[in-house]
């Protein structure tokens, strides 16, 4: 096996450039613009928070896996975000009951 594991160590304050985000997220600059226009990513002039890398990768996987357009990916990403928020709230409420 010649699998190569590639990774970046990023902290909460790390900033990635547009080129790094496109390269690591495996999207084109035009696709990155579409994700920003649809509200999946916040708009930044000189760099993106490292957390955007996970969003771009997830969006790209959804687009490839479902073979769909960016508009549907944006809706799915919004729903997944809402599910995560609801799960966090349920965990918080359960912890508060104990």
φ, ψ for residue 13 (rounded to 5)? -100, 0
List the structure tokens of 97: 């009951």
- Tens-digit pLDDT profile for residues 6-44: 555 566 678 889 999 999 889 999 999 999 999 999 887
List the structure tokens of 61: 């996987």
How many CB atoms lie under 10 A from the CB of residue 57?
Answer: 15
Residue 16, SS3? strand
Mean pLDDT within 41-53 = 85
List the structure tokens of 25: 């997220």
Whether the predicted pLDDT of 5 surpasses 80: no
């Amino acid at each position: 096996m010649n699998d190569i594991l590639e990774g970046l160590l990023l902290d909460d304050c790390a900033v990635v450039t547009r080129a790094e985000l496109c390269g690591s997220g495996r999207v084109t600059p035009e696709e990155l613009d579409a994700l920003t226009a649809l509200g999946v990513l916040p708009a930044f002039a000189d760099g993106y928070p490292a957390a955007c890398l996970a969003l771009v990768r997830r969006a790209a996987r959804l687009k490839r896996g479902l073979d769909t357009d960016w508009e549907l990916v944006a809706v799915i990403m919004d729903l997944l975000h809402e599910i995560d928020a609801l799960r966090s709230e349920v965990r918080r409420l359960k912890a508060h009951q104990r």
